[in-house]
A and B are shown apart, each in its own frame.
Chain A
Amino acid sequence: MKEKLAEIKKAFIERAAAAESEETVEALRVEFLGKKGLITGVMKLMGQLSPEERPAFGQSANEVRNYIDSKIAEKKKEIKALELEKALEKETVDVTMPATKVPEGSLHPLNKVTEEMKRLFIGMGYEIAEGPEVEYDYYNFEALNLPEGHPARDTQDTFYITDKMLLRTQTSSVQIHVMEHKKPPIRIISPGKVYRADNLDATHSPIFHQLEGLVVDKGVTMGDLKGTLEVYAKAMFGENTKIRLRPHHFPFTEPSAEVDVTCWGCGGTGCRICKGEGWVEVLGCGMVHPDVLRRCDIDPEVYSGFAFGIGIERTALARYGVSDLRQFFENDVRFLEQF
């Protein structure tokens, strides 16, 4: 009897080794472990044994059954894994085939630059103010110490609608709107379109963008203006950027300055971008003229302030290495998708 069991085990091992599909393994299970299977068959013969022999034989038979049972489970798992592997093999894709496109949009580079500036100044406690583009002469010129007949008006070729109405030439007009409606402390920036009668070329456009800044409070100093612009320059042009103030004249600020930053191309040693100067002019600024404050009912004996105006296009040209300003307004999708 024992020999019989050993034969069955041996036969199973041989057959199992040859089995390659789940079906064959299942058939083996039926053949060996099924109700009419070989093990069951041997068990049936147990009656022929003496009672003393039965437990030992029963134990051996069970051992063989368990062995076969576990081997079959193992075998099944093995085959499943193999089959999955084969199936996955069939699903192989060429990973170098082109991707399925997800709709890809973008924001305009001029607006991206403006957004960076907005974030910077909001972080420094500024609000964003907006004002009209079609504007009264008063806000664009008169209230800013540029009365009719003032020669500095010539430096800003103005588009007029009527004698009293024009397209604003500077975002500085918003200063007046803000100060008429809000009392200090005032900290605002005002980005927007401005208009000047320049023909379109690589560096000029009749419509361009500025970002105005205005701070009015008790005890505001020119040192504060300088410190603020230093933070701006470092944020926009890099941590190592230095600034340089050159005295200038704007009728609505006194003292006034133009501001250069160390060239982002060469760091100040001189290159093509800065035309060998090492410095690039980026903005105009100054301390708000007492007459401007007074006109807005803010007492210059109590309050002082500073203002600055940044050219967005120039900053964007520098930032993105674009050489021709016209591209910003053509809106060719191939240009826009780069940003």
Chain B
Amino acid sequence: MKAPLKWLLAYTDIKNEGTDAFAEHLASEMTLSGSKVETVDKLESKIHRVVVGKCVEIVRHQNSDHMFVCQMDVGEAFGGVTQIVTGAQNVKLGDHIPVALDNSVISGGREIKAGKLRGEVSNGMMCSFEELGLSSSAFEGGIDDGVIVLEDLKMLDGADYDSFIGKDIMEVLDVCYKDHVIDFEITSNRADCFSITGLAREAAVTMGAKFEMPKIVVKEEAEGYAKDSVQVFVADETLCPAYFARSVKNVKIAPSPKWMRDRLEACGVRSINNIVDITNYVMLELGQPMHAFDRRTVRGGKIVVRRAAEGEIFRTLDGVDRKLNANMLVISDAEGAIGIAGVMGGENSEIRPDTREIIFESATFDAVTVRRGAKSVGLRTESSSRFEKGLDPMLAKIAIERAAQLVEELGAGEVEKGVVSCVRKDAFLERTVPFDCDKINAFLGTDIPEEKMAAILTDLECRVDAGKKIIVPPYFRHDLICLADVAEEVARFYGYNKIESTLLKNCEMTLGSRTKHQRIRDVIRNRMSGSGFREMLTYSFESPNVYDKLLLKEGDFHRNYVKISNPLGEDYSAMRTSMAPTVLRTLAFNYAQRNKAAKLFEIAYVYLKKENEEELPEHREQLAIGAYGDMDFFKLKGVVEALFEELKIKGAEYEASKELPFMHPGRTANVILEGKNIGYIGQVHPLATDNFEAPRNSYIAVLDLAPLVDAAVEIPKGKELPKFPAVTRDLAVVLKKSIPQGEVIRIIKQRGGKLLESCDLFDCYEGIQVGPGKKSLAYSLCFRSAEGTLTDDDIDKQMKKILNGLENIGAELR
């Protein structure tokens, strides 16, 4: 909400110093009392260094048949008499004329510099209305053909013209509105501050000054009565608790006076004509949107406030056809709609240059209905944004009078007698709100005396009854409902920053902590960082086409994603169901930046739809790891195993997997923990890397977080170190190449029993020495007993058992 300072302060006794510093000071005080200032702008003329000069000599230009060389007295401040060459034919000796001096700026930002015209020096230029961005028609006596001669202008008749010499022409013509405009952010609870008077009231209380509403008197000079010109019917009282109408006869549509145009324009509202300007002026001044109908177009002289018919088509003022629905409120006449209530009027009833009779509307419409209506036709107007915050019928009643008064003051027409109204019984009921000094102090942690609180509330126009512990808020403060609201008012003007800082001194201590899940998550993150991976943070929505890029089949569960109904674009419309696209896109980005290698990880959610779509999707937390450059399957497996080691998770197994279409069929494993598949690890399928423009040697591991957290041991039990020596035996077997090493080691461990302390593969050989289709695996086995030193016999027995087991899968001792 833009508030020109001169207008705002007119309702207060705050002295306007007119300086930048004053405007900034007021803005900062207002910000600290709760009216947040966005900007402070300075309104000033865009015309610079154009001053009145007196023609003290005029001669014909020697080298031109139409130009004159003039000596102009522009005043001591600008160097006294200076030579100006002009082509204007209306200059006479003694005339007072605006002169654009050297380095001046005229209309359109054009700069004027001293120069020579056909050999004669000209230290500037004499100006016409157009060159100053003005219209001659606004100045009686002014002409378009030639420069401005002050003696011609009716407005300056009888003035002491010499006193204007050296003065800014814009000031002399009184066309320069100089002011500061403060732009306030209006929060949704303060409909009252969406007006100049509302902000003036806040300013007055903030600065400890007085506020006064404009005095409203309507003379009602027309013969007739409003009730004979218009009838009002409200079909739905809940959606329109109050409707006021007044009628004006003998309307003379004309431009508004300058003071009104200046104020409107300073607020960013274009001046149209006196009647439309009055409605806008009242809206800005009081916060009550108004509307004016051309009486001729109100068929049957009847105004009906009703719900729109479903699908009703209606053309608004801006010439656009709008489709209405039954949740919207319209203003209609005897035959059809003439306005969307609280949003915009209709083209059919708008004010035209030949309008002679008007009907003013000032009404209260239901906030939510206006908001929904405005939204459904895609129109958010100055009017709707005020109604949607909730307005009071009393304001509507004041506004209709104010509009009538302005019509009379502007001589824009004759106001008929009386107000036609349709008001719900409870429209003007007062409310009470609890007020308890002790409770407020206990809540704020302050020690403010009751008188101080009462004074603040009284300044805010609340009626305070300390005995009954209540206040009656003014009609315009719908936001004051409970004690906390009253506490805020007190705190705002007492000063938030005067409240003493404490640290929960009335409360008992609590223990701060993290859950196991949160602790393990942090352990994993630190481990991954320690393993050389960089943590990334990514967007959780995707393009739906990533599932094609992942080569997923129709019907794959990943394709069943949570869809954003109003995404920023198709590419951001699918909540991710897999971390793979996220990882691949990040690897691709790094690859495109020519980074030789990238190792990244993230712990984040994928969002999996539940069968019952009304339930929230499962937020499955996953650890996603991605890398290219200096990476292969076994390095990545080592990273995962180091993680398990960190978490003291034992017994994870790896099962070759071909089921993920975006993964390399020969270099991918499912990770199995306690019999459950908790994720996958491997190289990405080249077709998938190509689809994402990621490098071919991209590796991914994705593990569900929950099973890791469950299996993680935070406090491991220490064991005593062995007392007896260990015995080491090597074992090399030859077997079919297709048998996974994991199978061999599983048998060794199973057969080795509890005496087998460890078993490590130390060699794997394929080649002529073992024959085609075969491989040799060599293990180092370590036996130990807690009870005593093992004998060769003990070991031989175990080795025999192991060998027997291995023979079952066709392995031979090498």
Contact = CB atoms under 8 A, between A and B. Distances in A.
Query: Which of B496, B531, B563, B589 is packed against the most chain A CB atoms within 10 Å?
Result: B496
B530 interface: yes
Nearest to B596: A333
Nearest to A136: B616
A331 B536 contact: yes
B534 interface: yes
Given A105-B529, A150-B188, A221-B442, A227 B503 contact: yes
B497 A245 contact: yes
A334 B506 contact: no
A110 interface: yes
B562 A222 contact: no
Contact of B599 (A105, A136, A248, A290): A105
A149 interface: yes
Contact of B507 (A155, A185, A251): A185
B367 A149 contact: yes
B502 A333 contact: no
A108 B586 CA distance: 14
A218 B33 contact: no
Nearest to A291: B482
B76 interface: no
Contact of A331 (B506, B563, B586): B586
B499 A329 contact: no
Interface stretch (A65-73, A74-82, A118-126): A118-126
B529 A223 contact: no
B510 A227 contact: no
Interface stretch (B304-312, B537-545, B754-762): B537-545
A336 interface: yes
A105 B444 contact: no
Given A227-B502, A254-B485, A333 B496 contact: no
A121 B533 CA distance: 28
Nearest to A159: B564
A228 B540 CA distance: 33
Interface residues of B, number: 92
A135 B562 CA distance: 12
Interface in A314-339: 328-334, 336-337
A255 B484 contact: yes
B535 interface: yes
B443 A287 contact: yes
A289 B502 CA distance: 20
Nearest to B613: A162
A228 B504 contact: yes
B159 to A, nearest CB: 44
Interface in B476-515: 482-485, 487-488, 491-492, 496-497, 499-515
Interface stretch (B160-168, B258-266, B565-573): B565-573
Contacts of A46: none
A221 B445 contact: yes
Given A161-B564, A221-B444, A304-B443, A132 B509 contact: no
Given A227-B501, A249-B188, A255-B491, A110 B537 contact: yes
Contact of B566 (A107, A197, A336): A197
A330 B614 CA distance: 33
19 contacts: A105-B532, A124-B512, A127-B510, A127-B514, A150-B188, A159-B564, A162-B613, A187-B510, A221-B442, A222-B499, A224-B506, A226-B500, A227-B504, A246-B496, A247-B491, A249-B188, A249-B190, A287-B484, A304-B443
Interface of A: 102-108, 110-111, 115, 118, 121-128, 130, 132-136, 148-152, 155, 159-162, 164-165, 167, 185, 187, 193, 197, 199, 206-207, 215, 217-224, 226-228, 230-231, 244-249, 251, 254-258, 287, 289-291, 304, 328-334, 336-337
The 7 nearest A-B residue pairs measured at CB: A103-B532, A223-B445, A221-B445, A247-B34, A219-B506, A149-B368, A255-B488
Interface of B: 31-34, 36, 187-190, 367-368, 371-372, 385, 388-389, 442-446, 482-485, 487-488, 491-492, 496-497, 499-515, 518, 522, 525-526, 528-541, 562-568, 572, 575, 586, 589-590, 593, 595, 597-600, 602, 605, 607, 613-614, 616-617, 619
Given A185-B510, A328-B537, 12 more contacts: A122-B514, A127-B515, A128-B518, A133-B607, A134-B575, A134-B619, A148-B368, A206-B568, A220-B506, A221-B445, A223-B444, A246-B31
